[in-house]
Chains A and B, each alone.
Chain A
Amino acid sequence: MDLAQMALMLLSSILAGFVGALFGIGGGVIIVPTLTAFLGLGIKDAIATSIVGVVATSIAGASRYLKQGITNVKLALFLEMSATLGAMSGAMLEMVSPSSILFMILAALLLFMALNQAKTFRKEEERIKAGGFKGKGDRLSKGLKLSGSYNDAADRVRVEYTPTRSKLGIAMSYFAGLFSGLLGIGGGVLKVPIMNQFMDVPMKVSVGTSKFMIGITASTAALVYFSFGLVKPELASPVVLGVVMGATLGAMVMNRIKAGYLKLAFASLLVYFSYLMATKGLSLMVGA
């Protein structure tokens, strides 16, 4: 590896970390294609390097969001219970399920979530200005004290919220984990809309909480890759340093963006992911 290659890895990792922190996703969708297409790495090396990068972006982003009071640790751990269980079930079912159909289902689901995000972007802004998301909550969210508040830097208000439909949230997190395990995709792209659309959690809290959750899931997978000697430290080091820089920057910017615009940008990202999943599904169908 020469200096030019390292500079390219560092730059793409900074971008991955920035986008990952902004939207609560892992950033593997940027790291893996860069490593394979521009640096000529094999897909296995790229995935092993990327998963370490995902852990790093999660740690860097989540630590900044925790400092800003945006990440809800209790909510993250509550949803992570079923997400981890789902990921384990997905990994075990991997061999027996027809991936092409699953990719198409996920593509449709992501498109539905994208439309929902786009439709409700003004509502999010109005609710923030009107004093927040403080609903009644349900028994589970009250019992686990999942409510919280954060300072919205863009609107300069304190937003209070109480998650609702906790049972639906935990069930959907299981399916988010299941899709991650089955199809090898990061869970952030599903976790953010689950919290925001179904559990009535503000967009920024969903992003910050998802960022924390991703690290928990990815670190387990990364430890397995690492202990089997699949992680090359010479490749992982510049990626980690890049994503840490990018995620720190992204986490500083996110709270300054209006929540409505963040939702719109996230909706575009979901459309892109939906397209990726649909093309993968179609190529598998044609291949079969």
Chain B
Amino acid sequence: MKADRLCYLILTLGMISSASLLAMGLALYFLGLPYRWAMLSGITLLLFTPMAAVSSTIPSFFRGGERPNAFVSLIVVLFMLFALLLAFFR
């Protein structure tokens, strides 16, 4: 599958599932039922979606014979992970 299409699918899936969980969380909040699990899962899913989309392009570019682009994607993912580690240990 082409990288653009794969990114689109992952972003759309991430957006729909996280928005659904957050909407469910809000409904539970107003009903006075336990809601944090739904909201926290929704936010976690949302925040990992861009990393999942970028990571998905690596095998996609590689399979398509676009190795320089696969390398660029890999660098971006590594920078994202490095930035996270840097923030945690600062």
Q: Does A215 contact B (CB under 8 A)?
A: yes
Instruction: Determine how close the nearest CB of chain A comes to the CB of B8; give it in whole angstroms.
Output: 4
Convert A48-66 into 0s and 1s, putting 1 for each residue whose CB lies closer than 8 angstroms to a CB of B: 0000100110111011001
How many Å lie between the Cα of A145 and that of B73 in the bound state?
14
How many Å lie between the Cα of A71 and that of B51 in the bound state?
17
Q: Does A80 contact B (CB under 8 A)?
A: yes
B residues near A80, Cβ cutoff 8 Å: 76
B residues near A87, Cβ cutoff 8 Å: 83
Convert B35-51 into 0s and 1s, putting 1 for each residue whose CB lies closer than 8 angstroms to a CB of A: 01001101110111111
Instruction: Determine how close the nearest CB of chain A comes to the CB of B18; give it in whole angstroms.
Output: 7
User: Which residue of chain A has its CB nearest to the CB of B83?
Assistant: A220
B residues near A96, Cβ cutoff 8 Å: none
Check A55/B72 contact, CB under 8 A, given A240-B42, A244-B19: no
By size class, the interface of chain B is 35 or more
Convert A184-219 into 0s and 1s, putting 1 for each residue whose CB lies closer than 8 angstroms to a CB of B: 000000000000000000000000000010011011
* CB-based contact B4/A77 at 8 Å: no
Convert A1-26 into 0s and 1s, putting 1 for each residue whose CB lies closer than 8 angstroms to a CB of B: 00100100000000000000000000
Contact of B12 among A63, A91, A231 (CB under 8 A): A63
Q: How many residues of A contact B (CB 8 A)?
A: 49
How many Å lie between the Cα of A237 and that of B43 in the bound state?
8
B residues near A236, Cβ cutoff 8 Å: 22, 39, 43
* CB-based contact B39/A233 at 8 Å: yes
Instruction: Determine how close the nearest CB of chain B comes to the CB of A224; give it in whole angstroms.
Output: 4
Residues of chain A from 240 to 254 with CB closer than 8 A to chain B in the complex = 240-241, 244
Instruction: Name, among A58, A77, A215, A222, the residue most crowded by chain B CB atoms within 10 Å (CB to CB).
Output: A77
Residues of chain B from 2 to 50 with CB closer than 8 A to chain A in the complex = 3-4, 7-8, 11-12, 14-15, 18-19, 22-23, 25-26, 29-30, 36, 39-40, 42-44, 46-50
How many Å lie between the Cα of A55 and that of B48 in the bound state?
10
Contact of A234 among B39, B82, B88 (CB under 8 A): B39
Instruction: Determine how close the nearest CB of chain A comes to the CB of B3; give it in whole angstroms.
Output: 5
Q: Does A88 contact B (CB under 8 A)?
A: yes
Contact of B50 among A52, A69, A85, A215 (CB under 8 A): A215
Task: Classify the interface of chain A: helix, strand, loop or mixed.
Answer: helix
How many Å lie between the Cα of A88 and that of B4 in the bound state?
27
B residues near A244, Cβ cutoff 8 Å: 15, 19
A residues near B88, Cβ cutoff 8 Å: 224, 227
B residues near A215, Cβ cutoff 8 Å: 49-50
Contact of A240 among B46, B80, B83, B86 (CB under 8 A): B46
B residues near A91, Cβ cutoff 8 Å: 86
* CB-based contact A145/B4 at 8 Å: no
Residues of chain B from 52 to 86 with CB closer than 8 A to chain A in the complex = 54, 57, 66, 68-69, 72-73, 75-76, 79-80, 82-84, 86
Residues of B within 8 A of A (CB): 3-4, 7-8, 11-12, 14-15, 18-19, 22-23, 25-26, 29-30, 36, 39-40, 42-44, 46-51, 54, 57, 66, 68-69, 72-73, 75-76, 79-80, 82-84, 86-88
Residues of A within 8 A of B (CB): 3, 6, 52, 55-56, 58-60, 62-63, 66-67, 69, 71, 73-74, 77-78, 80-81, 84-85, 87-88, 91, 143-145, 212, 215-216, 218-224, 226-227, 231, 233-234, 236-238, 240-241, 244
6 interchain residue pairs of minimum CB distance? A233-B39, A63-B11, A66-B8, A224-B87, A215-B50, A84-B79
